[in-house]
Amino acid sequence: MLKAHNVSLEVDGPGDSEQNAVLHLLREVSFNVPPGHLMAIVGPSGCGKTTLLKVITGIQEQTAGELLWDGRNLSDEEDLHPGDLGYVPQFSVAYDLLTVEESIASAMALRTQLAQTEDFIPSLDYILEVTGLTHLADRQVKVLSGGQKRRLGLALELVTDPCLLLCDEVTSGLDPRSEHEITALLRVLSRGHPKRVVINVTHSLASLDAYDSVMVMYQGVLTFHGPPKAMMHYFAVEHPEEVYLKLTERKNGDWHESWEKYRDTYYKRHGFDGKRVLPEDEAAEKEAKKSDSGPSKTTVREDRPEVEDDSSTHAEDHIPEHHEFPPIEMPSVTTQLFELLRRRWTIFRRDKAQVWLHLAMLLGFPLLVVIFALDGIKPLRALSTHQNENVKVEMESQAQFQREQLNAGSLVSGLVMLQVVLVTLMASNNAAREIASERLILEREKLGGLQPFAYVGSKVIFLGIFVLAQSLWMGFFVDLVVGGLPGDLVIKLALLTLASAAMTSICLGISAMSKTPEKATILCIYLVGFQLPLSGAVLTLPDWLENWVQPLIAAFWSWSGSLSSMRSTAFYDAVKQVTATDLITPAVAAFVLFVHVIVGLAMTFVGVQRSQWES
């Protein structure tokens, strides 16, 4: 049983005055919900419905009052075990490019240890069957209708057979028929576990008869909780839709006091004493089942009709025999990491636009560098330091040599910087949206027990493959085509890879810290855009600014360290002629770039662990 006693939530207000100092999002909310119960939380927008749901889940912590589950105080002790709690948010929590079956199987692998057991397939089939998704198992999420996606959201939470299932606006935006079918499915799910409580937040009052009880919220207070028929009597209205208008006739405090005064009377009058009261149609259905000696109905995936939506059928008519889930245990961090990595590669492989974009950058950017290198490197190799006995000729040769040396120095410095900037551009493209674009899915999976270390580790491995491929191919290809740029190739490749890793790490951190992918993308574009002008490779920075800016510019360290590797070649003098900035040794440059990587990973861990649910 779920119990709430005087649950309140206060937050700082927008103003400095005493009146606006505190906002009461919830105020002294008390209720009991027995097992096997389906309850609706209704009320006008902004009345505290979703806030109350987030307090129950532990996403937000109440500032006063108690929440108890089976007698255990969730305020003082740990929150519910991830396997006991199912939370279905209003938004979609599935990847568009995965199929329905793949989405559910991935959720099972991340939240249970069933994947390697004989219970995996029966459990998966049961979830598909009870949610009416069997005939859609092989379809990608992106082609599902709104109602089908809501069913999938419910299916993802059933992988642990939770005893507390919380739904936030799962019927919003649906047509009346689909809304009725989803509500009927919630009712089925509330009966599918001996201890299960199902709570659905909704602003719709169209299907209230399917609920065992209705809770009416208004401006953060509880104004009614009881059977749907009693609600209209309490508010003295003829239709449920009139309740919202009725609420505006009194202050929220008055409604709260009125309910506190008459609550026990209504509970007694309507037989609502904490035990589930079955609607008449369900009671008749149960009696009919008792008298039916025939075999129970089961449904097989292949026997389901191929229709776009099963809304033409009633969920109660397709209740499969209850599947007994084995004891749910959380998988190891390693198991979660490899499942996340497998899922990410599947999504990437199916995203043809991303595949072609990465191939275009991988092949096109090195070609761009080569175009600038072909006509400039070879003349420098032919430079002669042989002295001519004719003074006039010798002076002309030296002048020509200096001109060619300056041109060659500028070309070598520019080619190295161009490689670095293009590599950082690819890194930014790889990481900028990587976490921000799936933030809401991440938040839901964290609530279900996903370990941040496993999540970040999967991103590091996935993006690390791009770092190696893009940076190493850039260095090898350019060096091969131009006949070998001056300097140690191994050092240049290492610094190019570290520059890519540093930018990838920092952009991944920005993505983890950002609430939207658009914001993350803009910040990362700015970061790459400042690499060239603030590196000192083209324009010399003022001394007072250089010491503050250059440590933050990954391109500077890779460029500078690569040029320093040319000390033993004739090119080094040419490079020094056009470089006003002091060059850094490769070892120091590599160390600073490694620090960039560590800072970016630290940002990523902090951003992933920080809760960023939608308000």
We report the CATH number of the domain holding residue 225 as: 3.40.50.300
Question: 235 with 375, same domain?
Answer: no
Question: 367 with 266, same domain?
Answer: no
User: Nearest-CA neighbor of 188 among 36, 34, 396?
Assistant: 36
Higher pLDDT, residue 284 or 367: 367
Please report the pLDDT score of residue 399 as a whole number: 53
Say if residue 92's pLDDT is above 60.
Answer: yes
Per the structure, the count of domains in the chain is: 2
- Residue 304 structure tokens: 């389901």
Residue 149 lies in a domain: no
The residue range of the domain holding 439 is 360-609
**Which range in 397-401, 411-415, 569-573 is most confidently predicted, on average pLDDT?**
411-415
Residue 454 lies in a domain: yes
Question: 236 with 377, same domain?
Answer: no
Say how many CA atoms lie within 13 Å of 566 toward its Cβ. Answer: 19
Question: 264 with 369, same domain?
Answer: no
- Of the listed ranges 272-286, 332-346, 525-539, the least confidently predicted one is 272-286
**72-73 and 221-226 strand pairing:** unpaired
Contact 182, 172 (CB under 8 A): no
Please report the pLDDT score of residue 98 as a whole number: 96
Residue 288 lies in a domain: no
Residue 113 lies in a domain: no
DSSP state letter for 209: G
Please report the pLDDT score of residue 238 as a whole number: 87
pLDDT band at 497 (very low <50, low <70, confident <90, very high): very high
- Average pLDDT of the segment spanning 281-304: 39
Mean pLDDT, all residues of the chain: 83
Q: What is the largest CA-CA distance in the chain?
A: 121
pLDDT tens-digit map of 40-67:
999 988 898 999 999 998 888 889 999 9
CA atoms of 466 and 287, how far apart (whole Å): 62
Residue 279 lies in a domain: no
Last residue within a domain, chosen from 331, 349, 374? 331
Question: 437 with 570, same domain?
Answer: yes
pLDDT band at 395 (very low <50, low <70, confident <90, very high): low
DSSP state letter for 220: T
Please report the pLDDT score of residue 309 as a whole number: 43
Q: What is the pTM of this model?
A: 0.84
Contact 548, 382 (CB under 8 A): no
- The gap from C-alpha 573 to its chain's centroid, in whole angstroms, comes to 51
CA atoms of 82 and 603, how far apart (whole Å): 26
pLDDT band at 531 (very low <50, low <70, confident <90, very high): confident
Last residue within a domain, chosen from 331, 349, 378? 331
Residue 307 lies in a domain: no
Question: 260 with 370, same domain?
Answer: no
Please report the pLDDT score of residue 608 as a whole number: 95
Residue 284 lies in a domain: no
- The gap from C-alpha 85 to its chain's centroid, in whole angstroms, comes to 19
CA atoms of 324 and 109, how far apart (whole Å): 18
- Average pLDDT of the segment spanning 567-581: 68
Higher pLDDT, residue 476 or 193: 476
Say if residue 85's pLDDT is above 70.
Answer: yes
Within 123-239, strands assigned E span 164-168, 197-201, 213-218, 221-226
**Which range in 362-366, 564-568, 583-587 is most confidently predicted, on average pLDDT?**
362-366
- Residue 326 structure tokens: 């084995």
| Backbone φ and ψ of 306, nearest 5° | -85, 90
Helices vs. strands in the chain: H and E counts, helices first: 21, 10
| Backbone φ and ψ of 532, nearest 5° | -75, -55
| Backbone φ and ψ of 565, nearest 5° | -70, -5
pLDDT band at 311 (very low <50, low <70, confident <90, very high): very low
Question: 266 with 365, same domain?
Answer: no
| Backbone φ and ψ of 81, nearest 5° | -60, 140
pLDDT tens-digit map of 252-265:
899 999 999 988 88
- The gap from C-alpha 510 to its chain's centroid, in whole angstroms, comes to 14
- Average pLDDT of the segment spanning 372-401: 53
Residue 184 lies in a domain: no
